[in-house]
Structure 1
């Protein structure tokens, strides 16, 4: 049990009717609903709040005053004042989904290029899993220690671990993290910008998954929504 976020998609609705529309969309997935579809049915949430903290949405420039934008946070106490360019939700047509994805594409491309330029100055490194496989016949504690020691003997890993800034940027297992071409690396990171762990579609489907296929579906679904569809970030307890 814990808290996580879902992106809820609703038919067009004004500010006065938003709360009721949210309740109707979320109601079928309440743990304690009385009209359970079948005896073994288990719900998705015990309580929820409108809240996009950590996954706020950008507002399309020129639409900052649209009254349909959702800028209140039911969870944060006291409420946080958002800049006009940010919101917890609003009509799909006034949300800027492209700018954050473009920014991530630039960042990811720069990181990939910087890593390979740095890595080319050292002998090629192997990912940690290579060393873990080599010592799998040892006792678990001994195997872990031996694998870590062998992994950290690599000159590239030593150079990255010597600089906390590089380690944060390139991760502790860069040979694994950057083991793909630039386009694939950038695409994977861009796909992860907008999705929340779950999505509630206009059709009333609760979709909860992970990985690149889910992230691609999430992006394509939001991109294909009518402009007046409400898209809201929600924090729920599962």
Structure 2
């Protein structure tokens, strides 16, 4: 059992009716619903809160005072003092989805460029899984130890490990993803900015998953959501 977040999409609703609307949308997926549709029924949640901490939405500039924006967090014990530019949800037309994606595109492009400028000063490195696969054949009784040792012998990896700031920026296995072309690398990171692990659509579909396909589905759906429809971050216990 763990807590997870979902983005709940709703028809237009005012602040007074928001929790009731979320409750109706979430109800079909409750563990202990009374009208169990099948003997093997397993629900998705047993309690939930409005909460977008860690995945807040940006507010479209000029609409910071709109009362339809969701600014309360039911999960925190004390009231959260959100800046006017952030919220837990609201009408799709009031949410700025492009600014955080643009910021991530700039950050990812900068990381990719910096990594390749640094990596070009060393022999090319191979990702860890290459050494792990080789060790399964050469050192079947000590796969992990042999793979780690061989991986860390690479000059580029040694140079990155020698500087904690570089390891934090480029990760401990940079060749795994940073050897992609720049457009692919940037697009992959931009696609991951907005999605929560699950999405509840206007027509009542609970969609979840990971990886590029789910992220594309999430972004495409949110981009196409009507401007007056609500998108709200919800924390649920599964």
Whether TM-score is above 0.5 comes out as: yes
Q: How does 1:5-84 map onto structure 2 within 5 Å?
A: 5-84=5-84
Aligned to 1:199: 199
Aligned to 2:228: 228
Query: Hey, what's the Cα distance between the residues in 2 that align with 1:79 and 1:128?
Result: 45
Query: Hey, what's the Cα distance between the residues in 1 that align with 2:130 and 2:13?
Result: 54
How many aligned positions are there?
237
Aligned to 2:106: 106
Query: Hey, what's the Cα distance between the residues in 1 that align with 2:208 and 2:214?
Result: 8
Query: Hey, what's the Cα distance between the residues in 2 that align with 1:179 and 1:32?
Result: 48
Greater mean deviation of Cα atoms: 53-62 or 175-184: 175-184
Say whether 1:179 aligns with 2:179: yes
Residue deviations 1:66-102 (CA, integer Å, cap 9, x gap): 1100000000111211011000000000000000000
Is the CA contact 1:49–1:73 (under 8 Å) kept in the aligned structure 2? yes
* TM-score, scaled to structure 1: 0.98
Give structure 1 stretches of 5+ with no counterpart: none
Residue deviations 1:190-229 (CA, integer Å, cap 9, x gap): 0000000000000000001110111011001000011000
Query: Hey, what's the Cα distance between the residues in 2 that align with 1:170 and 1:19?
Result: 42
Query: Hey, what's the Cα distance between the residues in 2 that align with 1:22 and 1:135?
Result: 51
Query: Hey, what's the Cα distance between the residues in 1 that align with 2:164 and 2:217?
Result: 35
User: Which ranges of 4 or more aligned residues in structure 1 deviate by more than 2 Å?
Assistant: 137-140
RMSD: 0.8
Residue deviations 1:136-156 (CA, integer Å, cap 9, x gap): 04345x221111111101000
Query: Hey, what's the Cα distance between the residues in 2 that align with 1:113 and 1:10?
Result: 41
Is the CA contact 1:171–1:177 (under 8 Å) kept in the aligned structure 2? no
Query: Hey, what's the Cα distance between the residues in 2 that align with 1:105 and 1:139?
Result: 42
Residue deviations 1:18-45 (CA, integer Å, cap 9, x gap): 1111110011100000101111111000
Query: Hey, what's the Cα distance between the residues in 2 that align with 1:223 and 1:130?
Result: 38
- Look up the SS of the partner of 2:96 in the other structure: coil
- Look up the SS of the partner of 2:6 in the other structure: strand
Aligned to 2:92: 92
* TM-score, scaled to structure 2: 0.98
